Structure 1
């Protein structure tokens, strides 16, 4: 029973964590009525919670394997009581920055669930499970939508204090319903980092999540104030539009995970980044509120699908180091939410517009599209290499002149020759001298006419021992039908014949 409720419990935990993470950005239009914040500091105030929320994801992802999700969520919610109360009593910019920094714990809990929940489900469901859990970022929409409405009636400070009761409720829920017997993994953190930090795929996934989750967070904290100042919408309307953006991105996240369980995840990412590129270009031209809404909603769809796909890929490629990799990748996503608002603010201060910032997003998305395509073809080459190296038959590849280009480990095992000894040589180094001259002439005639030959042939090993092979030689042709190389596969059938 306890194991079955972990997905809904941990998803609700994430909703609460994300609700608290965006308290300041959601209530900023109300807070600025009481606390004077310089215009050039507004983006910093909204971005500050993202710092700790990003950096803490690495240790929380790691310790989720050591102590389990129950302890991590309990401790996190207890610690969040302090910044929530402190912000409710804030009277200066410094108070907001200090409280906001520790609000980051609410965003950091994300890496706990993506590390814990896959332990309860088979691998073919990991995309959907992490997608459902990731939908907990709907918490940002809940606060963005509800907090301004409540603040209009009772004020922003009492609104913040209401979150203390929510935290106390979930502290109790985790204490009684958290899984005390969760499977623990106790590999030292230094060993795990050493095992992954040189892996290209981890850094590619970090970049992709930097864009997908980063744009989600960035738009969440940037839209409420931007819609009020740029399109002169009222505060509640801006909050509802931002909540709509968050809701779309959130609903598409489990959809992205579900699609990644059924289709090729890298193909889904290609489509995601292509759409990102076009949407960011549209936003760069400062369109009307209608076109701006269309561009933003397309980015919301892309962010949701991309987030779901990436956390299908992480456990797929890093099963044994999922905790630390989840932490690193999700940290980069959090940082992706920190830098865009700061960068957009700086660009706006210099140029008076946001166009350059959106154009930068389009170019980073385009670069990511190229990287995903490259990863796809690298995976295909890697698969071919694995087949080539792991097959039990000896394989040698020659160019059209007959010089050996490559051999596999089975070739070395069967003949005694290592690759460097035969590359550049002709297969005649294997001749036993037991075949009549006309044999080879007929062999090559068949290859030229039919594209393939197979049969028995006597060859010799490096030590001079003759043995009987079953050999297949196939011609590899180009688009024009010309031979470009030849592939020979063989096995030792001496014992079978004897």
Structure 2
């Protein structure tokens, strides 16, 4: 195999085969017949495969691949780091081994409805690590049809967003509850009142306006 530079600067890969040309006496005539085959597409495909494998290995997101029977056939190092499951622990298992028990059957039914009809799904999922601890992930699942047959593989990619969820919840709580008493603060009460007014107007079909103040009334007011 060798590469040949073309006039446009691209490279074509050729596979060379040779066989000796024999005389009538079947003795070697000192001449060989050469044949060439253009294997550029094959070389490019192998290079793409090596690149995809490299990305699979070094990706920071956890990656899990399942077959048409929804059994796990491959996971990357980031998957093992995030879940605690090594390949030998989980290959051949169903993804439900990660289930946390935080989602009901309706949640998974809707997820699979989108996967089967749209070819993809993404959303927030609570799962469980090998050590039993819970974590929150942002999960993306994509259907990859197989070239031969009618089987389909699923590629799931996820990021651990547990710390981001905790930070967001902390910021929300600080904005809506008093640090000392733990009671809802003025902003929280305002939000609740606005929601109550909106719901009341929606149910009655009337518009209303409420004026209130949280401070004490002054004389003459």
Please indicate the TM-score interval, normalised by the length of the shorter structure. Answer: 0.5 to 0.7
d(CA) in 1 for partners of 2:79, 2:156? 10
User: For residues 467 and 357 of structure 1, do their structure 2 counterparts lie closer, same or farther at Cα, with a shift above 3 Å needed?
Assistant: same
**2:31 equivalent in structure 1:** 357
d(CA) in 1 for partners of 2:144, 2:118? 12
d(CA) in 1 for partners of 2:13, 2:136? 50
1:387 paired to 2:61: no
2:66 to 384, 398, 403: 398
Alignment of 1:263-412 (within 5 A): 263=10, 265=11, 268-270=12-14, 357-359=31-33, 361-362=34-35, 365-366=36-37, 369=38, 374-412=42-80
d(CA) in 1 for partners of 2:88, 2:121? 27
Provide, for residues 52-107 of structure 1, a one-character-per-residue CA deviation record: whole Å limited to 9, x for no partner.
Answer: xxxxxxxxxxxxxxxxxxxxxxxxxxxxxxxxxxxxxxxxxxxxxxxxxxxxxxxx
d(CA) in 2 for partners of 1:373, 1:258? 18
d(CA) in 1 for partners of 2:28, 2:151? 59
Provide, for residues 233-285 of structure 1, a one-character-per-residue CA deviation record: whole Å limited to 9, x for no partner.
Answer: xxxxxxxxxxxxxxxxxxxx8xx3875xx42x3xx123xx5xx78xx99xxxx
Superposition deviation, residue 348 in structure 1: 6.3
Larger relative strand fraction? 2
In the superposition, the TM-score normalised over structure 2's length comes to: 0.63
Superposition deviation, residue 399 in structure 1: 1.1
Alignment of 1:63-462 (within 5 A): 208=2, 256=5, 262-263=9-10, 265=11, 268-270=12-14, 357-359=31-33, 361-362=34-35, 365-366=36-37, 369=38, 374-462=42-130
* 2:146–2:153 Cα contact (<8 Å) kept: no
* 1:475–1:483 Cα contact (<8 Å) kept: no
**1:488 equivalent in structure 2:** 156
User: For residues 412 and 258 of structure 1, do their structure 2 counterparts lie closer, same or farther at Cα, with a shift above 3 Å needed?
Assistant: farther
d(CA) in 1 for partners of 2:27, 2:73? 60
Superposition deviation, residue 375 in structure 1: 3.7
Point out where structure 2 has 5 or more consecutive residues left out of the alignment. 167-221
d(CA) in 1 for partners of 2:70, 2:134? 22
Superposition deviation, residue 477 in structure 1: 2.1
Larger relative helix fraction? 1
User: For residues 494 and 461 of structure 1, do their structure 2 counterparts lie closer, same or farther at Cα, with a shift above 3 Å needed?
Assistant: same
Structure of greater relative contact order (alpha carbons < 8 Å, 6+ residues apart): 1
Superposition deviation, residue 467 in structure 1: 0.6
RMSD between aligned alpha carbons? Answer: 3.4
Question: How many pairs were matched up?
Answer: 166
Point out where structure 1 has 5 or more consecutive residues left out of the alignment. 1-203, 210-252, 282-342
Q: Which runs of 4+ in 1 moved over 3 A?
A: 347-354, 372-376, 478-483
Larger radius of gyration: 2
Provide, for residues 146-176 of structure 1, a one-character-per-residue CA deviation record: whole Å limited to 9, x for no partner.
Answer: xxxxxxxxxxxxxxxxxxxxxxxxxxxxxxx
User: For residues 473 and 481 of structure 1, do their structure 2 counterparts lie closer, same or farther at Cα, with a shift above 3 Å needed?
Assistant: farther
Superposition deviation, residue 350 in structure 1: 5.6
Provide, for residues 282-321 of structure 1, a one-character-per-residue CA deviation record: whole Å limited to 9, x for no partner.
Answer: xxxxxxxxxxxxxxxxxxxxxxxxxxxxxxxxxxxxxxxx
Superposition deviation, residue 388 in structure 1: 1.2
User: For residues 446 and 258 of structure 1, do their structure 2 counterparts lie closer, same or farther at Cα, with a shift above 3 Å needed?
Assistant: same
